[in-house]
Amino acid sequence: MHTERVTIEGAAFLTTLHLAGPIGLLALHGSVEGGTAELAREVAARTGATLLTFTQPTGPPRHIPSTRMSPCAPLTAFLTHTTLTVSLHGHNRRSAPRTIYVGGSNRPAARLLATALADSPFTPVTTLSGIPHPLRGLHPDNPVNRTRDGGVQLELPVRARTTHPVRTEPEVPPRVVVDALEAVVRTLMEREGSHR
């Protein structure tokens, strides 16, 4: 596990990188979208996936859009090492408190994730026309799409990323989401291994 401080658009970030399996778990907005870094860490630890999280340990957290997260050394190492990314984000859409939007360029992997979440208390949406445009994660400059096989952008409501909706430390992701994500990452790792 390697930690490194980086500065992007004047904001100081602490990155945590662990290079492991070919599937990568990415949390670009760990301090702004509570629970995403914790969810990425837990699933990576369970599956042996590669992990990269960005947090802002000091000052008020700033949200820098994914497409503007510059290719700092940890992100470059992550994108070079992994073949498919699962990028974890949070949304706060009041009209969709139980909806998980499953975007990103790898649509087969997105559907696999949606199937794993189908029995959860949350509603996965994979139809791109049903995902709000800013949450689709399709831009080519978005890190989720910059690995060989692209990736899946999960936009999680508050209750799908933490069991503590009122901000507390540490955030604890709901077990049902952790378990579903773990199962899919394991499947993707097995498929990736068979293609090598």
Given a cut of 70, whether residue 95 has pLDDT beyond it is yes
Digit-coded pLDDT (tens) for 63-82: 999 999 988 999 999 999 99
Report helix angle 175-194 to 107-117, nearest 10.
140
- pLDDT category of residue 166 using cuts at 50, 70 and 90: low
Tell me, what's the pLDDT at 196?
Answer: 47
Rounded Cα gap, residues 40 and 155, in angstroms: 13
| Helix residue ranges, H only, 48-174 | 73-81, 107-117, 158-161
| AA identity, residue 75 | L
Tell me, what's the pLDDT at 48?
Answer: 97
Comparing C-alpha atoms, which of 102, 108, 107, 76 is closest to residue 89? Answer: 102
Rounded Cα gap, residues 3 and 24, in angstroms: 16
Given a cut of 90, whether residue 1 has pLDDT beyond it is no
What's 182's domain CATH number? 3.40.630.100
117 within 8 A of 124, measured Cβ to Cβ:
yes
Host domain of residue 132: 2-194
- pLDDT category of residue 8 using cuts at 50, 70 and 90: very high
Average of per-residue pLDDT values in the chain: 92
Digit-coded pLDDT (tens) for 12-48: 999 999 999 999 999 999 989 989 999 999 999 999 9
Digit-coded pLDDT (tens) for 48-57: 999 999 999 8
Rounded Cα gap, residues 166 and 158, in angstroms: 10
- pLDDT category of residue 59 using cuts at 50, 70 and 90: confident
pLDDT over 90, % of the chain: 82
C-alpha distances in Å from residue 124, one per residue of 37, 98, 112, 163: 20, 9, 11, 19
pLDDT mean over 91-118: 95
- pLDDT category of residue 171 using cuts at 50, 70 and 90: confident
Given a cut of 50, whether residue 110 has pLDDT beyond it is yes
Domain count, the chain: 1
